[in-house]
Amino acid sequence: MMNPPPHFTPLIAALEQLGPHDHLCSIYENQQEHLAVAISFIQVGLSRGEKCVCIADDEKLRDIREALQAQGIDVDCAIASKSLVWATKEQAYLKRGSLELDWIVSFWKEATELAISEGFSALRAIDEREWVLEGALGFEHWMKYESRLTHSLSQSKCLALCQYNRRLFPPELILEVIRTHPIVVCGNTVCRNFYHVPPDEFPDNDNPARDVDRLLNNIREQERVESALREKQEELRRTREILVDDISQRKRAEEELRRSEMYLAEGQRLSHTGSWARNVSSEEVFWSQETFRIFGLDSEKAKPSYRTFLERIHPDDRPLVQQTVDTASHEKKVWELDYRIVLPDLSTKHVHAVGHPVVNEYGDLIEYLGTVMDVTDQQQGRAALEKAFDEIKTLKDQLHRENLVLREQIDQLWMFEEIVGSSPALQGVLSRLARVAPADSTVLIMGDTGTGKELVARAIHKRSQRSARAFVSVNCAAVPPSLIASELFGHEKGAFTGAQQRRLGRFELAEGGTIFLDEIGDLPVAAQIALLRVLQEREFERVGGSHPISADVRVIAATNRNLHAAIAAGTFRLDLFYRLSVFPIELPPLRERKEDIPMLLEYFTKRYASRLGKNIKHVDKRTLELFQSYDWPGNVRELQNVIERSVILCDGEVLA
């Protein structure tokens, strides 16, 4: 059903207050009033699930049908469902062509019972009474019928509307009509009838005693009304005094409000914070003066709108702002954003805005209230601070790397002097070392455990152009396979369980310097691929990262394994071997350069004796012969350990 026009609404609202037992009359002046009451009466009945019976001649029924259809009511559907029934006076009031009042009363009683049995909540009848003027029944008898109908309706679920044209009926008859109906409709007004005569009194109009009682009752009612009027006048006087006092208080409140608004505006100006409101249905927008200033608009010339707000936002930030505001509005949630706005002079401001939803008692979103703060100064200060932090972090990282390298160099500085010996085999190694050190080529050092591979690597670094930068050593066999990639290349925060912060890898720590990969033969295949990329493309990615990092690092690798056998077994990549062995250096085992043992014995004896505070002047000849006759499978490292143990046990000036 369509909503009624505005001028129908008060009438419909009044008719909806009526119960299923009421009897009312409509006194109308013209066709428009007639149809307004009839259509409203039927509309209310259909909306309540009542059966509506309309009694009139064919012309009137046609007018009512057109008016109902104009209100969006499907008349044919209503008729088909028996919700709406057309009837003529002959069908409703004539029995075998004549009027019988008793039959008519019983007819409406049976019609009501039938409607209830059909599933309707009540019966609603509307009758145009012009046909009464035809004189088929005396008007006095008809009024008695109207009075009886009031009594009958009070005992059934039937509501009846009788319509009388004031232009056709004489005034004295209209008065009788009013007397017989407890409710009267006049224009858009529906009211209880003060002049209604109850059914049990109406037939006895000639009873003087009853008329006197009614007159006295009317006088008493008039006195009651006048008394109530006097009370209302006194109440009005008191209300006027209260109103005057309220006006004075309101003026004071308005003055306080103006003062508060002034303080608020000044506070917003000083804090660069504006307030705003936006009605989500009407799109009406309110901005405070400070909001106008932040957006670079004149409050006297520009009218704020959501479109104005969006046009000021930086094009790069606009999609995010629209999406955030739309999503929050749909979910009725608070939103908070940082974005940029572009002013007419093309300057840019940074703002921080917050929007808070306001809903009614039904949970419907009414409007958004919020603030917008000019944070340009804070943003610029934050950017400068972040830049300073980045510079400090860069310096800190550099100091950390240099400190780490320095500590390693200090801890192992003495090892540079351990390349001791004059044998041809060692001199050949030192010759190759001197040739390759100034170059930036990758070096692969091969030799048994304990032959001094790291000493050679450090010597190459010390004599290279990278000697002023870091030398970082990594033992590939000592790092678990699952962590070797993180150890070499670093990882981002959250890259794996336990990665609570970003960590620099060894390649980054060695930036500009040298990285020594000891036990390269134990490197997992996955890490070999990443290392191959570093050697080929000079770049890598942190674990969990997506941005390549350039690598300016010289790589020196070492192994005690047979890499050719590992390549054949598929545990070491051939292409990586070729990349690493640009300049291979083979270190001879100690058993192949036994002529260096006396020099090594003397060197290590002096070192450990000095550390332990002992004065050992020379080595026993027998001891020297024993040292030279042994094959030293652990090479120099084993020799070093034996000498240290011997010095500890020595109590005199001769090591024996």
pLDDT of amino acid 207: 56
Residues facing 374 on adjacent strands: 351
* Cβ contact 567:574 at 8 Å: yes
Q: Which fold has domain 417-588?
A: Rossmann fold (3.40.50)
Q: Which of 19, 31, 28 is nearest to 185 (CA)?
A: 28
Strand-by-strand arrangement of the 348-359 sheet: 285-287, 273-279, 365-374, 348-359, 335-342
* Cβ contact 541:488 at 8 Å: no
Q: How far is CA 82 from the centre of its chain?
A: 52
The yes or no reply on domain 272-380 and CATH 3.30.450.20 is yes
* Cβ contact 178:184 at 8 Å: yes
Nearest-angstrom CA–CA distance, 608 and 125 = 125
3-state secondary structure of 370: strand
User: Taking the chain, what is the end-to-end CA distance rounded to the nearest angstrom?
Assistant: 119
Q: Which fold has domain 594-649?
A: Helicase, Ruva Protein; domain 3 (1.10.8)
Tell which phi-psi region holds residue 518, choosing left (phi > 0), alpha (psi between -120 and 50) or beta. beta
Helices (H), 272-333: 289-294, 306-312, 318-331
Nearest-angstrom CA–CA distance, 534 and 512 = 14
Encode pLDDT of 281-316 as tens digits.
Answer: 888 888 888 888 888 888 788 788 888 888 888 999
- Look up residue 3 and give its DSSP letter: P
Encode pLDDT of 586-620 as tens digits.
Answer: 999 999 989 988 888 888 888 888 888 888 888 88
* Cβ contact 472:516 at 8 Å: yes
Q: Letter for the amino acid at 80?
A: A
Cα distances (Å, whole numbers) of residue 594 to 121, 587, 602, 629, 630: 121, 14, 14, 9, 9
pLDDT of amino acid 446: 94
Encode pLDDT of 32-61 as tens digits.
Answer: 888 999 999 999 999 999 999 998 888 888
- Look up residue 467 and give its DSSP letter: T
Which DSSP string do the residues of 613-655 spell out, in sequence order? T----EE-HHHHHHHHHS--TTHHHHHHHHHHHHHHH--SSEE
Q: Residue 154 burial by CB count (10 A; 0-12/13-18/19+): exposed, middle or buried?
A: middle
3-state secondary structure of 490: strand
Can you read off the two tokens belonging to residue 223?
């006195």
Half-sphere exposure of 249 (CA within 13 A, CB side): 6
Q: For 82-101, b where at least 16 C-beta lie within 10 A, e where not — what string?
A: ebbbbbebeebbeeeeebee
Residue 520's CB is within 10 A of a number of other CB atoms, namely 27
Identical topology for domains 417-588 and 594-649: no
Residue 55's CB is within 10 A of a number of other CB atoms, namely 24
* Cβ contact 145:199 at 8 Å: no
Tell which phi-psi region holds residue 286, choosing left (phi > 0), alpha (psi between -120 and 50) or beta. beta
Can you read off the two tokens belonging to residue 440?
């930036």
Cα distances (Å, whole numbers) of residue 20 to 23, 44, 155, 233, 586: 9, 12, 10, 38, 114
Helix (H) or strand (E) run with residue 366 in it:
strand 365-374
3-state secondary structure of 493: coil
**Superfamily grouping for domain 8-201:** P-loop containing nucleotide triphosphate hydrolases (3.40.50.300)
Nearest-angstrom CA–CA distance, 185 and 179 = 13
pLDDT of amino acid 411: 46
Tell which phi-psi region holds residue 126, choosing left (phi > 0), alpha (psi between -120 and 50) or beta. beta
Q: Which of 463, 457, 475 is nearest to 415 (CA)?
A: 457
Can you read off the two tokens belonging to residue 507?
């390649």
How many residues in total does the chain contain? Answer: 656
Nearest-angstrom CA–CA distance, 420 and 601 = 10
* Cβ contact 517:556 at 8 Å: yes
Write out residues in the chain with pLDDT < 50, as ranges.
1-7, 204-205, 411-417
Q: Letter for the amino acid at 394?
A: T
pLDDT of amino acid 147: 77
Can you give the residue ranges of every domain in the chain?
A: 8-201, 216-255, 272-380, 417-588, 594-649
Vertex 574 angle, CA 582 and 567, to 5°: 120
